[in-house]
Amino acid sequence: MASSGARADAARAAFREHLEAKGHAVENVRAGVEGLERALGAGDLQRTPLLDQMLADLLVALEQDDGQKLGGKSAEAARFIGRAIARELENA
């Protein structure tokens, strides 16, 4: 059963806002994931196996070495996986 209540709704909305924000997709998604991890840790949202897998995939797509800039493929992956996470949050 999906989480309900004002804090769950706020966490979902905050993640979507990061996805839609102006700026670099990679940085926006990273900020969204930070908020999402706080909400999951606080129990505002429930983890699902699919959500955990998507977050793991996203982290791999956003990996970079020190000083390395992420290019277009990382931004594309961030947008794609971010939208999938936003959909899955309805089950979290």
Q: Indicate whether 24 belongs to any domain.
A: yes
pLDDT for the residue 61: 77
Q: Give, as one character, the DSSP assignment of residue 2.
A: -
| Class of residue 68 by CB neighbours under 10 A (exposed 0-12, middle 13-18, buried 19+) | exposed
Residue 78 placed within a domain: yes
Number of structural domains the chain divides into: 1
Each residue's pLDDT tens digit, 41-80: 999 999 999 999 999 988 887 776 455 555 567 778 888 8
Residue 49, domain extent: 6-91
Whole-number pLDDT of residue 60? 80
Per-residue pLDDT tens for 3-33? 888 999 999 999 999 999 998 888 899 899 9
Q: What is the pLDDT of residue 34?
A: 94
Q: Tokens 């992956």 identify what position? A: 77
